Structure 1
Amino acid sequence: MNDYTFQFDKVSRRYPHFQLQDINLKLPTGGIMGLIGPNGAGKSTLIRILMGLIAADEGTVTVLGQPIPEQQQAAKRHIGFASEDMRLYKNATLDWHMSLIGRIYPEQWDSKYANHLLKAFDLIAEQKIKGMSHGQRVKSGLLLMLARHPKFLILDEPTTGLDPVARKEVLNEMIAVLQDEERSILFSSHNTQDVEQISDQITFIDRGTLVSSNDKESFIEEWRRVRMRTPENLMLQADGNIKELIRQGANTTLLVRGLTDQMVTDWQQQGATIQHIDYLSLEEIFVAEVEAKRQGDNS
């Protein structure tokens, strides 16, 4: 068994108006990585390289132990892909699609699990795709992928456009899938709430570069928002650990990476009154990480 589901080693891909630059990234077997970035950040390019749809200009890519794109066919037998705009045959029924995938993957297709997903996703096998809502089409695509038990699931914005009930159904099934410790997931999204719910590793990407990648708990523990009342003579500036400073009269709010007890003690000794020290949401951490990276690039 391979230690890593995929590995990027110094991977770059150049376009006339965009570059994916020097990506070093790996996902341990059984891991769940949330890939977060704004539109145009490079998420789709990274996924297309993983799938062997395009080749990197530089660097090497390995997926499920296979070099990509050279051995993409061997890897793809064990890869499941789903996105919010999956194209199914609109004049065919879901049952027809299930039979088709069952014939393509006879050794992997699990009819019992497919029927379970039909009920879990509240889908009707005899319904034609063209008569389905957007949410039903997304869930149909997920059913067709999950029911053949791929070792590696690549989910590209799978919950975009889903109503809250459909999103919960999809995420619950993803959580159930994760009980198999040898199955890995790459969950690409700009919806940080969905990513935070199921991922154990988070990767931030922006403007074609890797901003940061770490386990979720480390990100959450690293950042704090500090609210305090400060005297006029307390000199604070956004540098080092303090990544953002907002001052409104005597009220000061700081975004701090790597807050220590000593920092708090120093501020108190200088006359500050600490009011609240809070964790940041994953979305706030993403924005803070990106802004810190951009400031570092521009300095």
Structure 2
Amino acid sequence: MEYIVETHNLTKRFGKEIAVSALNLKIPKGEVYGFLGPNGAGKSTTLRMLLGLMRPTAGSVRIFGRDLKKDRISILRNVGSLVESPSYYSHLTSYENLEAMRKILGSPKEKIDEVLELVHLSKAADKKVKGFSLGMKQRLGIAMALLNDPKLLILDEPTNGLDPSGIIEMRNLIKRLPKEKDMTVLISSHLLSEIDQVATYVGVISKGKLIFQDSIKAMRKKAQLKIRLKVSDANNAYRSLLAKGIKTDYQDNIIYLYEQSDEAVAAVVEILVDEGYSVYRVEEEHQSLEDIFLKMTAGGDDR
């Protein structure tokens, strides 16, 4: 697998405080990588180091297979970013803002219409930015980040402050970019629900440490299904099942089964009934991704 971004023991200290600790990111080419963690976990600090805006205390960053420290300028020519709020001239139109940025980047003039179309701002090309909604301003910020036709796009909390329709627009745009532009997208968020909607890979950071990194499918597999049994005399029923070698768990007068096939559940119910226990309920209980995320990041503090 080809990785667009790789970090090796990336670390950032502020005095005695460690904001990012020995981070080893691996971001595959052509994927939407969700960088997930509570507010203050070290996400923005990491993104600033990836963009060369902040010098690491230790460790290294490789982007496109090259060392950021040695080839910073040439690497960043192929990187677009929207970190925190977008920068723009409110008294200018969206087209004029993009023209000013285009001249700095040296991009061809036709790129302006292309990125306006991509972020659905073509009809607002001649409108002054001071009259834009927050969602339109965010999309203009992404249009600016796309002017240099980047191979890597880095977005820091791009749905912050957006209304529901703005969030859906942003979500759809992010999902389109890898397919339409052969682009790799790194998106940070503290909201699992947002990452789950767009990401194909995910990294979870807590207290500056990377505690999970894999495909979103692998994360979903952690959302285990349990079979929940409510029975009479639950404590004795639980002990009886254990004595027969059936793997179970017991909590708050409820029996939980590890084996969840229909046949295994039916066999347990039959055993309980044969032994004189009343089975009141047999239910499926799903552990949500949100529960998994909260367990992973339990005890996180602000940083």
Report the TM-score, using the length of structure 1 for normalisation: 0.80
Partner of 1:283: 290
- Per the alignment, residue 28 of structure 1 pairs with 28
Aligned AA (2:196): E
* Matching residue's letter, 1:287: L
**Which residue in the other structure is 1:166 paired with?**
166
Q: What is the CA–CA distance in structure 1 between the aligned matches of 2:102 and 2:294, rounded to whole Å?
A: 43
CA spacing shift, 1:282–1:12, aligned 2, 3 Å: same
The structure having more radius of gyration, on CA atoms, is 2
Cα distance in 2, alignment partners of residues 53 and 90 from structure 1:
25
Residue 240 of structure 1 corresponds to which residue in structure 2? Answer: none
Structure 1 residue aligned with 2:117: 116
Q: Which amino acid aligns with 1:168?
A: I
State how far apart, in whole Å, the 2-side matches of 1:48 and 1:177 are. Answer: 22
Deviates more, 1:170-179 or 1:85-94: 85-94
Query: Is residue 84–residue 160 contact of structure 1 (8 Å, CA) maintained in 2?
Result: no
Q: Can you list the C-alpha shifts for 1:183-205, whole angstroms capped at 9, x where unaligned?
A: 21111001222211221111110
Residue aligning to 1:13: 12
What runs of 5+ residues in structure 2 fail to find an aligned partner?
A: 240-248, 273-278
Separation (CA, whole Å) in 2 of partners of 1:54 and 1:12: 11
User: 2:143 maps to what in 1?
Assistant: 143
Task: Describe the shift of the 1:123–1:39 C-alpha distance in structure 2 as closer, same or farther (beyond 3 A).
Answer: farther
Q: Using the alignment, how far apart are the partners of 1:246 and 1:179 within structure 2?
A: 48
Counterpart contact for 1:37–1:189, Cα < 8 Å: yes
Distance 2:259 2:56 in 1: 42
Structure 1 residue aligned with 2:75: 75
8 Å contact kept, 2:156–2:187: yes
Mapped contact 2:52–2:68 kept (Cα < 8 A) = yes
Aligned mates of 1:218, 1:274 — CA distance in 2: 28
Which whole-Å CA distance do the structure 2 matches of 1:147 and 1:164 have between them?
Answer: 26
1:84 Cα offset (Å): 5.0
Deviation of 1:107 (Å): 4.0
> Is 1:232 the equivalent of 2:235?
yes
Counterpart residue number, 2:60? 60
Gaps of 5+ in 1: 236-244
Q: Percent identity over the alignment?
A: 25
- 1:117 maps to a residue whose letter is L
Distance in 2 (CA, whole Å) between partners of 1:143 and 1:13 is 30
Pairwise CA distance, 1:9:
0.8
Q: Secondary structure at the match of 2:171?
A: helix
The within-5 A match list for 1:151-230 is 151-180=151-180, 182-230=182-230
Structure 1 distance, partners of 2:205, 2:103, is 38
Instruction: Give 1:63 shift.
Output: 1.2
1:83-133 superposed Cα distances (whole Å, 9 cap, x missing partner): 451222223221211111222334466234224136x24761222222322
Once residues 261 and 225 of structure 1 are traced to their aligned partners in structure 2, the CA distance between those partners, rounded to angstroms, is 8
State the one-letter code of the partner of 1:232.
N
- Give the corresponding residue for 2:40: 40
Instruction: State how far apart, in whole Å, the 2-side matches of 1:188 and 1:182 are.
Output: 20
What is the distance in 1 between the residues matched to 2:23 and 2:162? 31
Secondary structure at 1:287 match in 2: helix
Amino acid at match of 1:19: A
Q: How many residues align?
A: 277
Answer with 269-278 or 59-68: which moved more: 269-278
* TM-score w.r.t. length of structure 2: 0.80
Partners of 2:250 and 2:55 in 1: CA distance = 45
Corresponding residue of 1:242: none
Moved more, 144-153 or 208-217: 144-153
Cα deviation, residue 65, structure 1: 2.6
Partners of 1:156 and 1:187 within 8 A in 2: yes
